Amino acid sequence: MRKTKTIALGIALAVGTFTATGAMAATTLENVKEKGHLQCGVTSGLPGFSQPDEKGNWTGIDVDTCRAVAAAIFGDAKAVEFTPLTAKERFTALQSGEIDMLSRNTTWTLTRDASLGLNFAGVNYYDGQGFLINKDIGVDDATQLDGATICIQAGTTTELNLSDYFRAKGMEFKPIVFDTSEQTVQGFSAGRCDVLTSDRSQLAALRSKLSDPSSAIILPNTISKEPLGPVVRQGDDEWFNIVKWVLSVQINAEELGVTSANADEMLESDNPNVQRLLGTDGDMGAKLGLPDDFGHKVVKLVGNYGEMYDRNVGPDTPLGLSRGINALWTEGGILYAPPVR
Amino acid sequence: MTESTMKAPKKALRPVKWMRENLFSGWFNTVLTLGVAYLLVTSVGPLLNWFFLDANFVGSDASDCTGAGACWLFISQRLNFFIYGFYPDELQWRVDVMFLLLAVAFVPQFIERFPGRKWLGLFGIFGLPVVGYFLIPGGAFGLEEVQSSKWGGLMLTLILAYIGIIASLPIGILLALGRRSEMPIIRGICVIFIEVWRAVPLITVLFMASVMLPLFLPEGVNFEKLARALIGITLWQSAYMAEVIRGGLQAIPRGQYEAADALGLGYWRKVGLVILPQALKMVIPGIVNTFISLFKDTTLVLIIGLFDILGTVQSTVTDPAWQNVAIEGYVFVAFCFWIFCFGISRYSQNLERKLDTGHKT
Amino acid sequence: MKKQTFDTRPAGPKPWNDPQVRSIFFQTIAIALVFWGGWVLVENTLSNMESRGISTGFGFLDETAGFGIIMNLVPYDATMSYGRTFWVGLTNTLLVSAMGVVAATILGFIIGVARLSSNWLVAKMALVYIEVIRNIPLLLQIFFWYFAVLSNLPSPRQSVDVGGALFLNNRGLYLPEPLTQDGFGLVWGGILLAIAAVVAIRVWAKKRQLATGQIFPTFKVGVAILIAVPIISYLAAGSPIEWDIPALKGFNFGGGITIIPELAALWIALSLYTASFIAEIVRSGILSVSKGQTEASKALGLPNGLTLRLVIIPQAMRVIIPPLTSQYLNLVKNSSLATAIGYPDLVAVFMGTTLNQTGQAVEVVAITMAVYLTISLLISLFMNIYNRAVAIKER
């Protein structure tokens, strides 16, 4: 009988803890501050966007987007832990609260915004779907791809775009769907498919993984719009604003000529826009629930958008992507951030 | 035997005689032998060249791989990553301690008459998980915290297999007892639980753990990805474990149950003091075999994006700094698994032979 | 229970010590716990899905899928529904499983017998095969057969060409496809006739053997009839088959039957892996037949082949069938590893792409698991029926 009692007690305890932990309703910002770090969902490895080196140090434009948020909250760009996620898991991980923000080259679409309980907090890279093809095949335009075998990475909008494009052109194709980018590259370099399709930035990244990158070319066609950006849970507007405005601050900083190198000197600037950006004037930070100098910390520790771009995907990196439409609106691109005021 | 009527056998040299009996008895066997021998001779040479003679062992990067054979340099240069994943260098001693304890606890199991072998084994089953729980993730006793997303490589493979087997043991015992229970409803629940888990592939279980489990939990409760994978693996494995243990329970002669009843022992005492100690001892080989298959199955976690040893190798074979090292990588992983699995299966076969003495009816 | 006219039993135990009362009590608790647990799960899931705006129900099965699948045994294109993708995935799973079961069984029996061969070299090679293959994870073997072998095959333009009809390249194996023309009915008739004749001969031969003890060469005659009659009827009908021979068109070969590399790699890996387990089962099955049986049949003067076929195998089958069943089940479950190399099986297509596009994880995972459960139950059922047929008939 004693044994039974112990078991019953155990069950009761288990049940108690199970239901008790259910009642937890702090805001995301409070949770992050309490943990002492930001938990950020990224890819499991995509050069230029989020890629770990052998020591687990993450680099990439998506990674820097997370670091900027950490810099704004803690004044420490290293206060981030990264959770690598497959395409399949990313939304569940965010919805369940496993991660605080998702920065995993995720395309902003109506369905995702409206039906997944998520909010897209801006765009950190404007992308579009393209084709990577072996030079030897001698194709220079996507309209010549009738009958081609195409490698695709699963779990993305890519599969639908591809079908739509080929159907609209009255062409046929054979899709091979892989789960991870490693397998996709392996399939392509093993010659399983003629063409690899993905977002153009990813194509550049994947091409850099080939043993001979110059053997493959990216076709000029862009068959879809893929605005990629950080995502947060719906229903926590404070947190949504923080992520949205940290990104805007970075873009504004580039426009105002504030860089990580001159951020300290710029504290003395007379330009009221710079003063508001860096927090020497006004209480912009307090309105977001952040320290007033959060803009200064973000730019000083992570850099402005241009620095972030050049460091990770720019012309001097293995990806070698020129700014294109990702340039500022003043320089022929479409990057236009709302003002900090 | 009709030896007396047979002629005395011709005296032949022993190897010749052996060959005639074992390789060239009759035309069919001769053809078979020659065919197999031909295949062996033609394939072993090139393989040997590729593996050893033409292979590259020393150097520091891909440019040192000049020979026509395998580039083992790739393995030795990346070995740290394959074993520890992203675990920080300066904290790897913690993993090493666990490896050492694991070896101390289980290697003596292969050696008969090793003093205190039983106690080391018990420590391996009950003590080691506790030590590991504090040592590997850190965050207590002044140890720096290492998030589970940084665990990887061989270390992660061992963690998955080890926790999977240890955690599924008690659940499996309960399920097996439940399936042998005289209460129809308890029996029914256990049968359904066991059969459903055994019928579905591990990969669907892992997908369920990684995508659906967060939906099952109340809002605000969530586990890390590794923990979710472990929950899935444990539930799945416990069904197999239950069937192995049930085999042991069934092999216990009825007299043991009746004797325990006659002594007036209650159910839990009967099971805990009389039946289970005998049954578990009998099914150790079976448990070891399920461990082997679980160990191999842990490679599936790479499909849900965890970096086990195969995952780490796969993510590095596409590294542009190294060219065409896929086969070397796969061979390395295959070799690691083979050593573990072959060694353990030999152990379990020995054990089976040893335990095969009594108790069979 | 026997009825008694008067109660001589001692006063019953206290209710909490009465085994029956206890049993009812515990079972009630068990049911309550299961229902409570289920209710909590359902409640959590529903409220989570509602708060996260995830839609529920099976309505998505009728929506347009919109993505392509490389291999389909049932008609499919991107304009069809998600429900149809389920059938495409299921048929692909069944195909590779069936192919794997057949190949693994044949290979497993050969290796199992080779393991016991009196030829030392053959026996050792079989042992090496078994010990190497079954101790390496299947996923790794699939990767090997897919990535390592694939990258060594030629591109379509440098295909290996066998007689201008059969082509091998890194897009797959291309075979000519027979297209039946008018008048093929006669050939079908010939085939049916041949089968009927063979059955009739077998029945007659058995009767004759029982009556006179003479053995009629049923096997040889049967094979001759099975080959000759269809060929004669084929020629008589005027060769009513045209071959659709694959030819290089644009990027790739068109026409004919294609075996895609994903299918081939998965099939080879599954067959080799499972065969190593089946071989061990066959070996222990054969060893379980007591030596006396072999000696007795030798004493009767049966040659080695007949001893194996008529005496040993039938008895060994009783030991082999149960573990063989679980190997078949494992093979079907392992076929789900297809998703790692892009073979469009149920898990890759339905639990992969369809789940990603619709986001309805609960429904999709539940359907998939139900399918595997059904397949497992069906295989167990068939093997149980077969097992009963070969079980020892005690008289």
Say which DSSP state A46 is in: B
Exposed/middle/buried for residue A7 (C-beta within 10 Å: 0-12, 13-18, 19+): exposed
**pLDDT category, A255, cuts 50, 70, 90?**
very high
The answer to whether residue B10 sits within a structural domain is: no
Query: Using one digit for the tens of pLDDT, what is the confidence trace for B266-296?
Result: 888 888 888 888 888 888 888 888 899 999 9
**Structural contact between residues A294 and A279, judged by C-beta atoms closer than 8 angstroms:** yes
B31 touches chain A (CB under 8 A): no
Contact in structure between A229 and A124 (CB atoms under 8 Å): yes
Which superfamily does CATH assign the domain made up of A28-126+228-331 to? Periplasmic binding protein-like II (3.40.190.10)
> pLDDT tens across A42-64, in order?
987 788 888 887 677 889 999 99
Whether residues B168 and B30 share a domain: the answer is no
Give me the residues paired with residue A38 across strands.
Answer: A80
Same domain, B24 and B83: no
Considering only CB atoms, which chain C residues are within 8 Å of A183? 340-342
Complex-level ipTM: 0.85
Within-domain flag for C163:
no
CATH class given for the domain over A131-224 = alpha beta
The range of the structural domain enclosing residue C301 comes to 70-76+91-158+260-348+369-395
A22·B214 Cβ contact <8 A: no
- Among positive and negative, which fits the CA dihedral B183, B186, B191, B194? negative
Token look-up 């074993």 returns: B83
**B39 and B78 share a domain?**
no
Please give the residue of chain C at the shortest CA–CA distance from B23: C119
According to DSSP, the β-strands at A195-199 and A148-153 are parallel
Q: Is position B26 within any domain?
A: yes
Region A207-222: mean pLDDT is: 83
**A83 and B225: CB-CB below 8 Å?**
yes
Q: Which amino acid is at A35?
A: K
Q: Which of C68, C153, C361 sits opposite A175 (nearest CB)?
A: C68
Query: How far is the alpha carbon of B170 from chain A, nearest alpha carbon, in Å?
Result: 14
Predicted TM-score of the model (pTM): 0.85
Domain harbouring B156, CATH code: 1.10.3720.10
Position A6 pLDDT exceeds 60: no
Quote the CA–CA distance of A75 and A14 in Å, as a whole number: 40
The gap between the terminal CA atoms of chain A, to the nearest Å, is 71
Nearest by CB: B149 against A84, A88, A208:
A84
Q: Does the beta-carbon distance from B33 to C51 stay under 8 Å? A: no
Q: Given a cut of 90, is residue C12 above it in pLDDT? A: no
Based on the domain organization, do B34 and B150 belong to the same domain? no
Helix (H) or strand (E) holding B163: helix B153-179
Indicate the residue of A87, A117, A149 with minimum beta-carbon distance to C171. A149
pLDDT attached to residue C245:
81
**Percentage of residues in chain A having pLDDT higher than 70:** 92
Q: Do C121 and B297 touch (CB under 8 A)?
A: no
C109 within a domain of the structure (yes/no): yes
C-alpha triplet A250, A253, A257: angle, nearest 5°: 145
**Other beta carbons within 10 Å of A84:** 21
Chain C residues near residue B200 by CB distance under 8 angstroms:
333, 369, 372-373
Chain C nearest-CA distance from A83, in A, is 20
Is the torsion defined by CA of B3, B7, B11, B14 positive or negative? negative
Model confidence at A85: pLDDT above 60? yes
Residue C305, Cβ density class (10 Å: 0-12 exposed, 13-18 middle, ≥19 buried): exposed
- C67 contacts on A by Cβ (under 8 Å): 159-160, 162-163, 175
- Residue range C140-158, pLDDT digits in tens: 999 888 887 877 788 887 8
At B78, the pLDDT band (50, 70, 90 cuts) reads confident
Give the residue extent of every domain in chain A: 28-126+228-331, 131-224
Residue whose entry in the numeric block shows the structure tokens 């097996």: B176
Query: What is the predicted pLDDT for the residue at A155?
Result: 59
Pairs across A and B, CB distance < 8 A: 95
CA nearest to C53, candidates A143, A189, A110, A117 = A117
- pLDDT (0 to 100) of residue A1: 36
Per-residue pLDDT reduced to its tens digit, B182-233: 888 888 999 899 989 988 999 999 988 888 887 787 766 767 788 889 999 9
CA angle B37, B43, B45 (to 5 degrees): 105
Residue B267's domain comprises 73-87+146-355
Contact in structure between A229 and A121 (CB atoms under 8 Å): yes
The better pLDDT of the pair A111, A150 is held by: A150
Distance from CA of A15 to the nearest CA of C (A): 10
Kindly state whether residue C245 falls inside one of the protein's structural domains: no
> Is residue A307 predicted with pLDDT exceeding 60?
yes
User: Quick one: closest CA in B to C361, which residue?
Assistant: B212
Ramachandran sector of residue B231 (left: φ over 0; alpha: ψ -120 to 50; beta: rest): alpha
Chain C neighbours, 3+ Cβ pairs < 8 A? A, B
Tokens 């020393």: give the residue. Answer: B58
- For C154, phi and psi rounded to 5 degrees? -75, 160
C279 located within any domain: yes
Q: Look at the block and give the residue holding tokens 């068959």.
A: A223
In angstroms and rounded to an integer, the radius of gyration of the C-alpha atoms of chain A is 23
Are C325 and C101 within 8 A, CB to CB? Answer: no
Question: Is A131-224 in the same CATH topology as A28-126+228-331?
Answer: yes
Maximum average pLDDT range among A59-73, C114-128, C244-258: A59-73
What total number of domains does chain B contain? 2
pLDDT over 70, % of chain B:
92
**Which tokens in the block code for residue C229?**
């009659």
Question: CA-to-CA distance for C192 and A71, rounded, in angstroms?
Answer: 80
CB count in 10 Å sphere of residue C72: 19
φ and ψ of B65, to 5 deg: -85, 85
Residue range B46-71, pLDDT digits in tens: 888 888 777 777 777 777 777 777 88
Is residue A91 less than 8 Å (CB to CB) from chain C?
A: yes
- Closest Cα partner for A206 from A57, A103, A318, A88? A318
Are A147 and C171 a contacting pair at CB < 8 A? no
CB-nearest to C137 from B217, B219, B337 is B337
| Mean pLDDT value across residues B6-18 | 69
Q: What's B358's DSSP letter? A: S
Tally of domains within chain C: 1
Containing A59, the helix (H) or strand (E) segment is strand A58-59
On whether any CB of chain A is under 8 Å from the CB of B319, the answer is yes
Comparison of pLDDT for B183 and C53, the residue scoring more: B183
CATH number at residue C132: 1.10.3720.10
Tokens of A187: 């399939």
Pairing of strands A231-233, A118-120: antiparallel
Residue C164, min C-alpha distance to chain B (Å): 29
Q: What is the pLDDT of residue B40?
A: 86
Give the mean pLDDT of A229-239: 91
Interface check B147 vs A, CB under 8 A: yes
- Residues, chain A, total? 341
In this complex, which of B29, B183, B198 lies closest to C26 when CB atoms are compared?
A: B183
Among A13-27, C23-37, C247-261, the minimum mean pLDDT is found in A13-27
Nearest to C340 by CA among C275, C260, C265: C265
Domain match, B325 and B210 both = yes
Question: What 8-state DSSP symbol labels residue A317?
Answer: S
Give pLDDT, residue B7: 66
Asked if A54 and B221 come within 8 Å (Cβ–Cβ), the reply is no
B13 vs A: CB within 8 A: no
DSSP string of A273-316, one letter each residue: HHHHHHTSSS-HHHHHTS-TTHHHHHHHHT--HHHHHHHHTSTT
- Alpha-carbon distance of B329 to A332, in angstroms, equals 47
Q: What is residue A16's predicted lDDT score, i.e. its pLDDT?
A: 38
pLDDT of residue C384: 80
Whether B53 is covered by a domain: the verdict is no
Inter-chain residue contact B199 with C30, CB threshold 8 Å: no
Check CB contact of A116 with chain C, cutoff 8 Å. yes
Q: Kindly state whether residues B32 and B78 are assigned to the same domain.
A: no
B-chain CB neighbours of A86 within 8 Å are: 210, 304-305
Return the residue in B222, B299, B300, B307 with the most chain A beta carbons within 10 A, the one to mutate for interface testing: B222
State the DSSP code for B8: P
Judged by DSSP in three states, A126 sits in strand
Q: Say how many CA atoms lie within 13 Å of C190 toward its Cβ.
A: 18
Q: Which two tokens stand for residue B172?
A: 């499996």
pLDDT of residue C265: 92
In this complex, the chains that touch A, judged by 3 or more CB pairs closer than 8 A, are B, C
